[in-house]
Amino acid sequence: MESTVEAESGRLSSLAPAERSQFLTHLAHGLTIGIRVLCHGDGDVQVHVESIRLINEALHRVLGYLSHALDGTENSSWLVAVVKSVLCINDTAATQQASQAWSYAKTQAGSRSAA
C-alpha cells in the first residue's frame, strides 16, 4: 500500500493547484457519500460507528488540506499524510467506501481535464 500512497501523492503533487483542489473537493464529496452509505445502508448503523469515525477522520484531513489550498497557505508536503489517511484505513467497510471515493474523485477530475 505504501507504493500506492507514494504514487497517488506524486500524482496529486503534479497537478496544478486548482486541479488538486478540485480533486480534493470531489474526494470529500465521495467520502460523505461513503458515510451516508454506512449510516443508511442495510444493517444496524451501530455496527458501522467505528468505520464512520475513520472515514470522518480522513474527511477532516482532506478538508483541512483543502482549506489551506484555497487560502493560499498550501504545503504540499502534507499530501502524503492526507493520501494515507484515505487509502490506508484499517477497517474493511471504511476502506471500501474510501477507495470508492478516491476512484470517484479520479473519474471526476479526469472528466474535467478531458473537457
At 32-45, the pLDDT tens digits run 999 999 999 877 77
Distance of CA 114 to the CA centre of its chain: 21
State whether the Cα torsion 10-23-90-78 is positive or negative.
Answer: positive
pTM for the full predicted model: 0.91
Using a 10 angstrom Cβ sphere, with 0-12 exposed, 13-18 middle and 19 or more buried, the burial of residue 1 is exposed
For residue 72, the tally of other CB atoms under 10 A from its CB is 7
Residue 111: pLDDT band with limits 50, 70, 90: low
Question: What is the enclosing helix (H) or strand (E) of 66?
Answer: helix 49-70
Q: Torsions phi, psi of 91, nearest 5? A: -160, 125
